[in-house]
Amino acid sequence: MILEVSQLAAGYGRIPILSGVTFEVAEGEFVGVLGHNGMGKTTLMRALMGYLPATAGRVAFAGADMTRAEPYLRARAGMGYVPQGREIFPGLSVLDNLRMGAVARSAPEGPAIEAALAEFPRLKRLMGRPGGALSGGEQQLLALARCLVGRPKLILLDEPTEGIQPSIIDEMVETLLRLRERGGLTMILVEQNLEFIAALSQRVLIIQKGAIVRTARPDELHDHGLIHEFIGVDD
């Protein structure tokens, strides 16, 4: 298992959000996380990346205990994070955003950037533009490409389709499927877009009130009853 999460609890200040979260992710697996708004999906991602301290439990990545590790140490160990809202560097050019993905880890810069651009060719014509001047969809592609430049073993991808035009969502699905089939990359994907999560995930964790309450197969996401009960939207 590349990621082992055991009885993880975390929250904001004294407000507990996650409690007793336990799951494992195998190397090369794409796992979705679904749940109502406010059930702790983004909190889970932030806790896995180390932005929120674990108040209980354990997080192990690639065999190493990461429970108390700072975010930058998790990143250096091979965890990549594409947060909700993208958080590209608005004042840096597209090229410099991509370079940030490489320089922080002392990875070879040129080949890693070229490889990421090969996955997202739309970015090639935007290299000199400031990140803040891109559309939301372009920023999302940039955030994904920047993450890939760091050659992560695991990507935590939080709500990538939020506010993004359908053509770019299709482009993301194609690229992520290609990466999944190529192997060597593991992903945890938080989404509300059922089609997107069903297309990419091999297993879906359903989160309710800060705990994983069920594991579903992607084809089960067409079950209206299950969707209504655990996610609160119709597909």
Partner 1 sequence: MDLVALLAIQVLYAIASLALISVGLAIIFGMMKVINLAHGEFLMLGGYAAIEANRYGINIWIAMLVVAPLVVGAIGAIVERTIIRWLYGRMIDTMLATWGLSLFLVGLTTAVFGNTTVGLSAPLGSFEIGSYRVSAYTLFVIAVAFVTLGGVLAMLRFTRLGLVARGAMQNANMAAALGVNPNRVYSVTFAAGAALTGLAGGVLAPVSGVFPTIGVAYVAKSFITVIGGGAAIVTGTATASALFGAVNQLATYATTPVFGEVALLAAAIVLIRLLPQGITGRFFRRSL
Strands 3-12 and 15-25, how do they pair? antiparallel
CB closer to partner 1 out of 117 and 155: 155
Tell me the closest approach of the beta carbon of residue 105 to partner 1, in angstroms.
Answer: 4
Choices 9-17, 29-37, 146-154, 172-180; region in contact with partner 1 by CB under 8 A = 146-154
Tokens 């297309």 correspond to: 199
CB closer to partner 1 out of 99 and 180: 99
Q: Which residues, other chains included, contact 192 with Cβ-Cβ below 8 Å and sequence gap of 6+?
A: 34, 37, 159, 161, 162, 231, 233
Longest Cα separation, the chain:
49
By CB under 8 A, the residues from 175 to 214 that bind partner 1 are none
Q: Is residue 127 a contact point for partner 1 (CB under 8 A)?
A: no
Using CB atoms within 10 Å of the CB of residue 173, give its burial: 0 to 12 exposed, 13 to 18 middle, 19+ buried: middle
Classified as helix, coil or strand, 63 is coil
- Pick one of 32, 35, 101, 160: the residue that binds partner 1 (CB under 8 A): 101
Site size for partner 1 (CB under 8 A): 27
By CB under 8 A, the residues from 38 to 97 that bind partner 1 are 49, 51, 70-72, 75-76, 80-81, 83, 87-92, 96
CB closer to partner 1 out of 33 and 206: 33
CB closer to partner 1 out of 130 and 218: 130
> Are the beta carbons of 205 and 192 closer than 8 angstroms?
no
Alpha-carbon gap, residue 155 to 174, rounded angstroms: 16
Choices 25-33, 34-42, 143-151, 196-204; region in contact with partner 1 by CB under 8 A = 143-151
Q: Is residue 105 a contact point for partner 1 (CB under 8 A)?
A: yes
> Are the beta carbons of 79 and 46 closer than 8 angstroms?
no
**Nearest Cα to 80, choosing from 31, 122, 29, 143?**
143
Q: Is residue 104 a contact point for partner 1 (CB under 8 A)?
A: yes
CB closer to partner 1 out of 156 and 206: 156
Tell me the closest approach of the beta carbon of residue 57 to partner 1, in angstroms.
Answer: 21
Element (H, E) at 224: helix 224-230
How far from chain centre, in Å, is Cα 110?
24
CB closer to partner 1 out of 20 and 53: 53
Q: Is residue 160 a contact point for partner 1 (CB under 8 A)?
A: no
**Nearest Cα to 26, choosing from 47, 5, 11?**
5
Tell me the closest approach of the beta carbon of residue 107 to partner 1, in angstroms.
Answer: 9
Chain residues that interact with partner 1, rule: CB under 8 A: 49, 51, 70-72, 75-76, 80-81, 83, 87-92, 96, 99-101, 103-105, 130, 146-147, 150
